[in-house]
Amino acid sequence: MSIIKEIHADLTDRLQYDKCQFKKNENMIIGAEFQTATPGETPFLIQQLVDNLEYRLENATTEEEKLESVLDTHIQFERIHPFSDGNGRTGRMLMNYSLLQEGFPPLIIEKETKATYVELLAKQDVSGFLSFAKGILAKEQRRMQYFQNMDQEKIKYD
């Protein structure tokens, strides 16, 4: 759970008086049709989220199961909305941290795809999010490979 608070603190440094602290007041997501977790529920739900992700990743037998576990956890994190502000940035950074830990490239949500991303989160559509993410991850993997190849070419001529 400390990594969650550390990432939040880094992302909101000098922007937020309560960085690194779970929310103390109710919050909401504008336009959402659900209630976020209460301040009292938040620490328990976040610990449960972390424990569930660890369990699912340890027991995953395929790369797709690992990816689905990370994406589902991201959806749940955003629904808990544990901080007074900075939840989206923190959630995306945590998602990418988990993806990188599992050997995936980062999932870059670009301006052109953000509306689809937000809609998938709102619907809690894990299978749709999985399909959406696979396309972006494949593109990011190709881009990373391109840069690695460029670096290898540079090394040959140095």
Dihedral sign, Cα of residue 11, residue 15, residue 19, residue 23: negative
For 62-96, the pLDDT digits (tens) are 999 999 999 999 999 999 999 999 999 999 999 99
**Whether the predicted pLDDT of 158 surpasses 60:** no
Q: What is the pLDDT at residue 112?
A: 97
Cβ atoms of residues 35 and 23 within 8 Å: no
Cβ atoms of residues 148 and 90 within 8 Å: no
Measured between alpha carbons, how far apart are the two ends of the chain, in Å?
45
For 12-36, the pLDDT digits (tens) are 887 777 778 899 999 988 878 889 9
Containing domain of residue 116, as a range?
2-157
Number of domains in the chain: 1
- State the alpha helices, DSSP H only, in the chain: 2-12, 42-59, 63-80, 87-101, 114-123, 126-157
CATH number of the CATH domain containing 49: 1.10.3290.10
Cβ atoms of residues 117 and 92 within 8 Å: no
Give the tokens for residue 126. Answer: 């894990």
